[in-house]
């Protein structure tokens, strides 16, 4: 059976949900009206059934994962994912820097520093002011550069994500008959 990578992703999610629903508990509660050997045997059979089902589902899941990994490599999806990850890292930094305030004019800085130098001991005691002035070195052009580069990289990221979507819909993998049978037994396909 051939399926798209997009369908493969949905199947993996469905398999993981089916795995979560399996009862693999090994403890039982027995009351005074039950026969212990019957309750224990019933629980053991239920566990064995669930355990075998788990093995089959995991076989199917990891066959799909292997096929997806190979298809991702062959179709170039891995390369596109790496480009998207790199862009996301750059966008984060550029966006943060695009919100950096511009540097204060030098004459204003000099004035603030002059006030600090000219303070008297008594005013320093009562006001508890800092002895330094914080500033950035970014000018308007620097902030504009980071704003524009953030916009450009977001557009490029969106283009790459569109390409990924197309590749995920166009690229197909082949499932073995055993895997198809397992998925049909579980009502997943």
List pLDDT tens digits, range 159-184. Answer: 999 999 999 999 999 999 999 999 99
Looking at the structure, tell me whether residues 117 and 65 fall in a common domain.
Answer: no
In the beta sheet, which residues pair with residue 174?
2
Tell me the three state secondary structure of residue 11: helix
Q: With a cut of 70, list the residues of the chain below it in pLDDT.
A: 121-129
pLDDT of the residue at 132:
86
Q: Which domain holds residue 116?
A: 108-136
Looking at the structure, tell me whether residues 75 and 126 fall in a common domain.
Answer: no
Tell me the three state secondary structure of residue 29: coil
pLDDT of the residue at 115:
86
Looking at the structure, tell me whether residues 82 and 52 fall in a common domain.
Answer: yes
Looking at the structure, tell me whether residues 131 and 143 fall in a common domain.
Answer: no
pTM: 0.75
Total structural domains within the chain: 2
CA distances for 6 relative to 136, 142, 172, angstroms: 47, 41, 9
- Report pLDDT digits (tens) over 34-53: 999 999 999 999 999 999 99
Q: Which of 175, 153, 185 is nearest to 67 (CA)?
A: 175
Looking at the structure, tell me whether residues 12 and 51 fall in a common domain.
Answer: yes
């Amino acid at each position: 059976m051939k399926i798209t990578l997009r369908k493969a992703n949905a199947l993996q999610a469905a398999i993981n949900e089916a795995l979560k629903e399996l009862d693999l508990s090994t403890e039982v509660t027995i009351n005074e009206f039950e026969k212990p050997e019957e309750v224990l045997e019933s629980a053991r059979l239920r566990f064995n059934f669930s355990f075998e089902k788990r093995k089959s589902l995991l076989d199917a899941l990891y066959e799909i994962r292997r096929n997806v990994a190979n298809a991702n490599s062959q179709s170039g999806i891995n390369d596109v994912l790496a480009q998207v990850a790199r862009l996301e890292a750059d966008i984060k930094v550029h966006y943060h820097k695009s919100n950096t305030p511009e540097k204060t004019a030098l004459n204003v800085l000099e004035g603030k520093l002059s006030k600090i130098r000219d303070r008297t001991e008594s005013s320093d005691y009562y006001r508890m002011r800092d002895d330094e002035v914080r500033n950035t070195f970014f000018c308007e052009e620097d902030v504009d550069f980071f704003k524009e580069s953030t916009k450009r990289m977001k557009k490029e990221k969106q283009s790459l994500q569109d390409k990924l979507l197309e590749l995920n819909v166009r690229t197909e993998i082949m499932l073995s008959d055993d895997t198809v049978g397992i998925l049909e037994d579980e009502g997943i396909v």
